[in-house]
Amino acid sequence: MKHTKILIAVIATFIITLLLINTAVWWLQDTWSFKKCFLHGATLGIGLIFGWIPSVFVGYDLNDKFNSPL
């Protein structure tokens, strides 16, 4: 059950990070829709390159929390 909770938290963090990056691109782009910004190759590339970094920290912290003796 511990690994399932960590997996769900990591995937949720990755999706939230992708949505935040996409929202920033959409906010800066005047003519594109939210969907078009999300499907653009540069946005997807930046999301995949930088989206996993917060997910690693969340997974590591949750693993430490579940392994602590308290």
What are the structural domain ranges in the chain?
Answer: 2-67
Q: What is the pLDDT of residue 68?
A: 82
- Using CA atoms, how far apart are residues 25 and 62, in angstroms rounded to an integer? 30
Listed in sequence order, the DSSP H helices in the chain are 2-28, 34-39, 41-67
Give the contacts of 33 (CB within 8 A, at least 6 positions apart): 26
Instruction: Give the pLDDT means over successive 10-residue stretches in the chain (70 positions).
Output: 93 95 91 88 90 94 87
pTM for the complete prediction? 0.85
Q: What is the pLDDT of residue 27?
A: 93
Q: What is the pLDDT of residue 6?
A: 94
